[in-house]
Amino acid sequence: MRQSQLFTKTQKQAPKDEVSLNAQLLIRGGFVDKEMAGVYSFLPLGWRVLNKIIAIIRQEMNAIGGQELFLTALQNPELWKKTKRWDDEVVDDWFKTKLKNDNELGLSFTHEEPLTNLAVKHVGSYKDLPKYVYQFQTKFRNELRAKSGILRGREFIMKDLYSFNADQAGLDAFYEQAKAAYKKIFDRCGIGEKTFLTFASGGSFSKYSHEFQAVCEAGEDLIYISQKKNIAINKEVHNDEVLADLGLEKEALTEAKAIEVGNIFKLGTKFSQALGLKYKDEEGQEQNVVMGSYGIGPGRLMGTVVELNNDERGIVWPEAVAPFRVHLLQLGDTQKEAEKIYHDLQAQNIEALFDDRDTTPGQKFADADLIGIPYRLVVSSKTLEKNSVELKKRSEEKTELVKIPDVVKYFEC
């Protein structure tokens, strides 16, 4: 893409009321825009990043048998009354609205109820199980605090997968597969080393659920990490009994702030019982379907990547989720040569942002650092004297000259 045609411009300053680092950098770079507290639009650069994250999650969900669908955001209260989750006393972050005739509707904050209800129409026998479905869909949550930028939106996209198994053993086996898939997702997004499988409260469904917590100062959660076992426990279950269960000793744990980037839950039969999701087993006996749910916020994940990968000049995107792989900067009177390199990169499907703007080198360098694309290529009269371009990784200080005929080859391998 030509930067001269890009919809956004970079900004020197983030809005004064924006206190979170991820949103400050993303707004300044032109990735997102703040509509109001906790409500962010994704702009062309940010949408590219979000879609790369979504593509990684989609691949890993498909690899464990997930089928993608897309449910509605508008919610029928009747379903939620059956599980007692319509009540604001029970769920305090609902956004609710009304039809013209005054009937109430909800805006989805999760989708266990409608999906369980939908499964009733498609599951009747043990032969119909197991089933795994997921979506990338907008959730609305009337979050009390929305000071963490895109880490905590009042409107945000969630990947939510729901598992339907015939029995607990089936759920347990799938749960382990989902755990492994989540690990791959966070590894691929470049935050694997900082992300710990964390034991958290299972709520009313089971003893524990598991969160994936990325260690980060901007996090709102407190976890206790066992480096030896490579796991952590959330503060909410940090007591002598969770410790004994897990064979952990208090002294060996390190306390850290962390961001919950994902959460997996064994739901058991709570929703299937309430909404009548049953199947006939091999003996013809009716049984409740055993369920699980598995969430990731791609926007929160993107914000976490930013929080963990930046310096005083801007964002430093890991390659797998960067908006482009190469940032090609054309300086001075080098149009013809720069155009040719841009053309050659495109011909080989090497994603490049081409800074062809009529502006100063200083501005181009500052914007390249702020936007944070992994590889910067500079074409100037100086480099052309050596039939070369200057290559610099955003994550390193050193530069090198690459001969023009070798540029495409460099990115192919």
Where are the extended beta strands (E) located within 126-276? Answer: 131-140, 155-165, 195-201, 208-215, 221-226, 231-234, 254-268
Nearer to ligand ATP by Cβ, of 94 and 354: the residue is 94
| Residue from 260, 307, 337, 367 binding ligand ATP (CB under 6 A) | 260
How far apart CA 383 and CA 331 sit, in angstroms, is: 10
Size of the site for ligand ATP (CB under 6 A): 16
Task: For residue 335, give every residue at least 6 positions away whose Cβ sits within 8 Å of its Cβ, in sequence order, or none.
Answer: 356
374 by Cβ neighbours in 10 Å (0-12 / 13-18 / 19+) ranks as: middle
DSSP state of 289: P
The reply to whether 156 sits near ligand ATP by the rule CB under 6 A is: yes
How far apart CA 27 and CA 380 sit, in angstroms, is: 29
Smallest gap from residue 213 Cβ to ligand ATP (A): 9
How far apart CA 253 and CA 158 sit, in angstroms, is: 31
Closest by CA position to 329, among listed 373, 368, 381: 368
The reply to whether 158 sits near ligand ATP by the rule CB under 6 A is: yes
Instruction: Mark residues 220-259: x for contact with ligand ATP by CB under 6 A, - for none.
Output: ----------------------------------------
2 by Cβ neighbours in 10 Å (0-12 / 13-18 / 19+) ranks as: middle
The reply to whether 66 sits near ligand ATP by the rule CB under 6 A is: no
The reply to whether 210 sits near ligand ATP by the rule CB under 6 A is: no
Smallest gap from residue 231 Cβ to ligand ATP (A): 17
| Residues, the chain | 413
Q: Which stretch binds ligand ATP (CB under 6 A): 24-32, 62-70, 150-158, 279-287?
A: 150-158
Alpha helices of 247-360 — where are they, by DSSP H?
A: 270-275, 298-308, 335-347
The reply to whether 106 sits near ligand ATP by the rule CB under 6 A is: no
Q: Which stretch binds ligand ATP (CB under 6 A): 98-106, 153-161, 233-241, 278-286?
A: 153-161
The reply to whether 299 sits near ligand ATP by the rule CB under 6 A is: yes
Smallest gap from residue 219 Cβ to ligand ATP (A): 9
The reply to whether 262 sits near ligand ATP by the rule CB under 6 A is: yes
The reply to whether 141 sits near ligand ATP by the rule CB under 6 A is: yes
Beta strands across the sheet bearing 104-107:
74-75, 104-107, 95-98
| Residue from 30, 66, 114, 295 binding ligand ATP (CB under 6 A) | 295
How far apart CA 88 and CA 147 sit, in angstroms, is: 23
The 3-state DSSP class for residue 53 equals helix
**Contact (CB, 8 A) for 248 and 60:** no
Residues 342-371 that bind ligand ATP (CB under 6 A): none
Smallest gap from residue 36 Cβ to ligand ATP (A): 14
| Residue from 263, 310, 330, 388 binding ligand ATP (CB under 6 A) | 263
| Residue from 29, 130, 153, 323 binding ligand ATP (CB under 6 A) | 153
Q: Which residues bind ligand ATP (CB under 6 A)?
A: 110, 141, 143, 152-153, 156, 158, 260-263, 295-297, 299-300
